[in-house]
Each structure stands twice: as structure tokens, then as C-alpha cells.
Structure 1
Amino acid sequence: MKNFRLLLLNLALLSVGWVNAQTARVQVIHNSSDTAAATVDVWLNNTLAIDDFNYRTATPFLDLPSNTPVDITIQPSNSVDTTSGLFRQTVNLDSNQTYIVIANGIISASGYSPSTPFGLDIFANGRETSANGATETDVLVYHGSTDAPTVDVVETSVPAGTIVDNASYSDFAGYLQLAVNDYTIEVRDSANSTIVANYSAPLQTLNTGGLAITVLASGFLDSTQNSNGASFGLFAALPTGGPLVALPELPIPTARVQVIHNSADLAASKVDVWLNDGVLLDDFEFRTASPFVDAQAGVPFVVSIADSASTDTAGAIAQYTFTLEEDSTYIIVANGIVSPSGYSPATPFNLDVFASGRETSANGATE
């Protein structure tokens, strides 16, 4: 909090020199997850503007000069000038415009995969308040995780469905104008087949009515490949600035599933069972059952039955698409004939699904 008060003082002093100049409104958000950039100094036109600017912190909106080049230099903390800056960019802001500027990417030469270069992503037409007043919150969505794939964001509590489609790294998805409620949002892969993470977006709890905020993906899905940096999460930057607000992470919705191999066709005596592009059951033998396992609920996924020597799902014996309901229990039985001849009747291979399965007796140990 002390650092943030010093930041406000620096910004106030910096703005004094521009009081009679044309200005633009700018909020800066530090989202570079590189540990070497955990705390940086930001210089504007060779003047120290933001001293010791911490990761996952935002400035309030401030007035910066417009219609004139502004040289932005990023330096390590405790810098004394802009010599040999870590990063430098010149911008020219439009008068009376509002900008969101997000510092993102990697400055280190090694230790990160992918090593996406550091940069400033700038969104013009930013907002400080909701366009429709206190009954709504305007939410600007930004993808800022260097190792996360292209994603969709799906709201599941209303449910509103897909609210962000195919957002890739450094994309701004534009403003969502949302009623001031608490929401549940899933981050899914762009194929809509895997839930990457699940979060609460508690706009009502955070009392964001009338505000415009920025919600950004931050951190790494795989920290072990990124110098053990910060883990992936969704964070909100408020227009007043300060430390970003972490959206609470929720458990990914699941169902329980058991698979039973009951296809008596000799050609299917041993098979591989694939879930999307990964092997779920390797060399799964006739008259064998899997244990009950957790499977993601609410997203369509493809089950492929393939030869036991399979390396992918190309040429699968059969493929099926399922969408499971959260907290339900399923028994899936593989049955029928895959061979074109030699069996009478040649009842086609299929997966038979029972959606009200149980793992324990309904009446306890006596039954």
C-alpha cells in the first residue's frame, strides 16, 4: 500500500507539468509474468513516472499529453535514467481519448516457453464508467497468458453461453455490458471440448455497478516451463488502480464415469480408448472394467475406440460424442460387433450409456 501511495504521488507530480496541455486518459496495467520484470520503473520522456511498479498492479486513470510523441521506457527498479532501457516505445495519444495499456510478455533471454517478447498492448476507446449507469458493469476482456491457447469464455450460471469467442494471446475481446450479478465463467479451449479453468466473476459482491473494469488472463498454465513463475488466473483491474483483484477459482465441473468392455468380437478383444486426443484406457481388454473416474462435465468430448497399437485417433474403429451432466454418474458399456463378417447376428458395435449409475449402495452396507 505504501508503494501504491508513492505511485499516486509520482503521477500527481508528473501531471502538474501537463495541466495546460491537451491530454488523454490512460490506465497502465503490469501483467508481465516474467520474474525478471516483477518490479519495474516506467519512464515517460526521460521522467520517472511510475517507480517500483509491481506485477499485477494497475495505475489509476491519469492524464498524459496527447498529440505529441511520448517516449515510454521500461527499466529495472531503482533505475536512475533511461540508458539501455529494457524496453522502449514511442506512442502518440489522441486528445480526449481513453486508453488501457497492458505491459505483457517476456524480457528474459531464456527460461520461458514460449518466449513471447515483452510489449505494450494498447486498447483505445477505453472506459472508466459503465455506459449504462449503475445497473451494469462494463468488462473489457484481455488474453494475457503467454502459454495459454486460444480460448473461449463461457458463462454457465445464467447461462449466457459463449461470451468471448476465440481469444488468442494479446487479444482484447472488447467490452461486455453485464448486469451487476455474480457469474460463473469457464475458460475453454477454442474447440469447446476442454475446460481450462473455472472462475467466479462476482460483480455484485465486488460492488462494481457503474464501473468499467478490465479482466485479464494472467500467469502461466505450466509454470514448470516458465521459471516457476506465477500460475494462471483471471484478474480484474479496477478504474481506481491498485493491486489486481483475483477472481475466485472454482472446481472444474465433473461427472463420474466407468467404462466396461463387453464387445465379444475377437477383432476388438483389446482396444485403446481415447478421450479427445489423449489415451484414456490403453490396451483395454474384453471383460474388463475401468474404475470410476472423473470426466469434465458440460463440454462435448469425443470418445474414440481404436486398435490397441494406435498412436492417434485416425482410423478409429468407432467415435462417439458425449456431453455429461455435472455430478451425475455414468456406466458406459462397449458392446456389439466391429467385424464385417463371421458373426450372426452382426449387431453393430456401440457404446451403451446408463446415466443414473451408482458407486455405492443406496441403503448402505446392509445392501
Structure 2
Amino acid sequence: MKITSSIFALALVLSACSDAVVNPAGDAVSSPDVEGQYELADIQRALDMTQGVAEFQVIHNADDPKARNVDVYVDGMRALNNFHYRKATPFIPLPTDFEVAVARQNSKSVDDAIAVFPFADLMDGGRYLVVADGVLPSWRFGPTDGIGFNLYPYLVEDVECEGVRMIGFHGITDAPAVNAVVRGVGVVGGDVSYGQFAEGCVPVGEYTLDVTPAGANDVIVASFTADLNGLEGQTVTVLASGFLSPPPGPTIALVVVYEDGTSKTISPLDDDDDDDDDDDDDDEEEEEEEEEEEEEEEGTD
């Protein structure tokens, strides 16, 4: 798997809540925001960490309702159980060579995996973001070439930033390449395509961020409030999430992730829904849709 480190000047934004922490000693510390169970402490003791160690933050941004909650295996051992959509882990120490398998929630073992991804020859001591994104093959999405379920790694290199370091990810499968336009400032991230990362250093302050198609800044796809006050010296990852034209599925939003695994979903300014609360309210409806779809598929076998 190729490690992409293309740099764009991108500013995307915002605020947060809290997740779980697993420290380098392998001790698991949970907080009330974490709904999935972390089993990394035992796994870290079983993995071969002698050939090199890197840190990984895993972010679930796959919009397919069938992958809304997943189980994650590392070298065949369950690492994340019922890992929720639009949630993240903190940075976790793992070997520089390992294999990740992803299964639907409530899987029995790694044999239930829907996708397997090898990671090899990563930088000893490096820090990586790993974003799960894309859709599974089904009638509702049609051909999935280029937008199939995948893991996107990104090496977080050391850079100097006197403001807020923003790392953005384009994770909307049905959206074109986009620009990020800060009102009163201009284009701060240009021509970013699906599956690409972009980053930049942004002064603290409050902004309105417009997402526009690349080359058409007068056409606003969505606008978001960007409050960067109090974040000087921090690194924040911001993911474009959801569907531009829901099939059905989650609508467009930004997912903000901090280094400690804290995450927050931000709705567009013209959306009357209430950020994370809207995600929670949709859980049961999407699970019911998923069950109905699976019953239909079984009936056609």
C-alpha cells in the first residue's frame, strides 16, 4: 500500500468531544464516549515489536451503511470491536509490518473479514493516520472502481506551525475534486480529489469555510463554521464525510479528530440538524434499512 504525503494548503476546522486511550505500555484507558471495546492491550503484548514501532490513529469514515460499525483485526487478533462510524482511536503503537482485516460488527473471527490490508516497511518511529473510507459492492452504489472500501494511510511528518496544523481528507465518494475557501482569506486548499490528504497551518480565529468544486469557487457545495480559537500548537484532522447525493446514506458533514481520539461531526450551516446527535438518531433507522436489504438479498438467492 502506497503511503501518500502530498501537501496542499488546506484549512478545515472545528470542535470536539472525547474517546479512548491506549498508552505505549499497553494499558487500556476508556472514557464514556467510546462505545466500541478496545482490546489493544493484549494484542500489543502478542505482536512482534522488535523490528520497529510506529504510531497509528485509525479513523472510521466509510459512509456505506453496511460498514457503519465494524470489527478490526490486527494480525488475526481482534483489536477494535464494534468500531463506530465517524469515530477514531488515539495514536496507538504497533509494529511497522502488520496486517489489518476489517469485518462487519459482531464478527466471530478474522475469517469473517470483508477486506484485508497489508502494511509493510513503514517508518520506525513514524506517526500515521489511517482512514477507512469507501463503499462496499452493492446494487445501491453500482460500480465501485476507485471508491471501494479501502484504508488510506498518511505519514504525519514533523513541521513547524505557529497556528493550528490542519490535515484534511476528501472522503466523499460521489463528490468531485474540491477547493476549501475561507471567506475573507481566499482559497486555502485547491483541487483535492477523493482519497487525497492535504494540510496547512492556519492562524487561530473564527472563519466560515466554503467547500466548492475545483475551479468553480462561486458554486458553494456546503459551508461550515470554523472556530480555531484556543487550538494554537495543536494538530487537527478534518475529514469530508457523507454523500453529496445520499443514496440513502449520511449527508455531507465534516468530521473533526484530535490526537487523543476525540471526534466531532459538524453539519453544514444551512443544516438544521444537531451534529453528533443527528448521527445517533439515524443509527436505528440505518440498521433497520440494512436488515431489510439483507433480507431482500437472501430472498433472491
Matched, 1:168 2:168: no
Contact 2:132 2:149 in 1 (8 A): yes
Question: Quick one: distance in 1 between partners of 2:222 and 2:49?
Answer: 47
Q: Secondary structure at the match of 2:42?
A: helix
Question: Quick one: distance in 1 between partners of 2:36 and 2:221?
Answer: 38
1:265-322 deviation line (CA, Å, top 9, x unaligned): xxxxxxxxxxxxxxxxxxxxxxxxxxxxxxxxxxxxxxxxxxxxxxxxxxxxxxxxxx
Contact 2:69 2:104 in 1 (8 A): yes
Moved over 6 A (4+): none
Question: Quick one: distance in 1 between partners of 2:73 and 2:264?
Answer: 25
Question: Quick one: distance in 2 between partners of 1:61 and 1:91?
Answer: 16
Matched, 1:209 2:232: yes
Written as runs of structure 1 = structure 2, the 5 A alignment for 1:328-347 is: none
Quote the offset at 1:80 in angstroms: 2.1
Contact 1:201 1:247 in 2 (8 A): no
State the match for 2:242 in structure 1: 219
State the match for 1:79 in structure 2: 107
Structure showing greater relative contact order (alpha-carbon pairs closer than 8 Å, 6 or more residues apart): 2
State the match for 2:294 in structure 1: none
1:83-141 deviation line (CA, Å, top 9, x unaligned): 142001101122111111100001142212563211011111356xx843xx5211001
1:205-250 deviation line (CA, Å, top 9, x unaligned): xx43322111110000111xx2x100001121111114x3123522
TM-score w.r.t. the length of structure 1 is 0.60
State the match for 2:153 in structure 1: 122
Written as runs of structure 1 = structure 2, the 5 A alignment for 1:1-367 is: 2=32, 4=34, 7-8=37-38, 10-18=39-47, 21=50, 22-66=52-96, 68=97, 70-92=98-120, 93-112=122-141, 115=144, 116-126=147-157, 131-132=160-161, 136-156=163-183, 159-173=184-198, 175-192=199-216, 193-204=218-229, 207-223=230-246, 226=247, 228-242=248-262, 244-251=263-270
- Change in Cα spacing, 1:47 to 1:222, as seen in structure 2 (3 Å) is same
Q: Secondary structure at the match of 2:106?
A: coil
Structure number having the greater strand percentage: 1
- Change in Cα spacing, 1:13 to 1:202, as seen in structure 2 (3 Å) is farther
Specify the structure having the higher radius of gyration (Cα). 1
State the match for 2:25 in structure 1: none
Residue type of the alignment partner of 1:170: G
Quote the offset at 1:201 in angstroms: 1.4
Contact 1:113 1:147 in 2 (8 A): no
Contact 1:3 1:52 in 2 (8 A): no
Q: Secondary structure at the match of 1:13?
A: helix
Contact 1:102 1:122 in 2 (8 A): yes
Q: Secondary structure at the match of 1:235?
A: strand
Question: Quick one: distance in 1 between partners of 2:49 and 2:106?
Answer: 30
Question: Quick one: distance in 2 between partners of 1:71 and 1:20?
Answer: 14
Quote the offset at 1:5 in angstroms: 6.8
* Structure 2 unpaired stretches of 5+: 1-30, 272-301
Give identity over the alignment, percent. 29
Contact 1:36 1:108 in 2 (8 A): no
Q: Secondary structure at the match of 2:113?
A: coil
Contact 1:151 1:165 in 2 (8 A): yes
Contact 1:155 1:163 in 2 (8 A): yes
Could you say what the CA RMSD is over the residues aligned between the two structures, in angstroms?
A: 2.2
- Change in Cα spacing, 1:11 to 1:109, as seen in structure 2 (3 Å) is same
- Change in Cα spacing, 1:229 to 1:20, as seen in structure 2 (3 Å) is closer
Question: Quick one: distance in 1 between partners of 2:245 and 2:154?
Answer: 27
1:139-171 deviation line (CA, Å, top 9, x unaligned): 001100001111111010xx2210110111111
Contact 2:73 2:80 in 1 (8 A): yes
Alignment: residue pair count: 236
Residue type of the alignment partner of 2:242: G
TM-score w.r.t. the length of structure 2 is 0.73
- Change in Cα spacing, 1:165 to 1:72, as seen in structure 2 (3 Å) is same
Quote the offset at 1:178 in angstroms: 1.2
Question: Quick one: distance in 2 between partners of 1:35 and 1:126?
Answer: 33
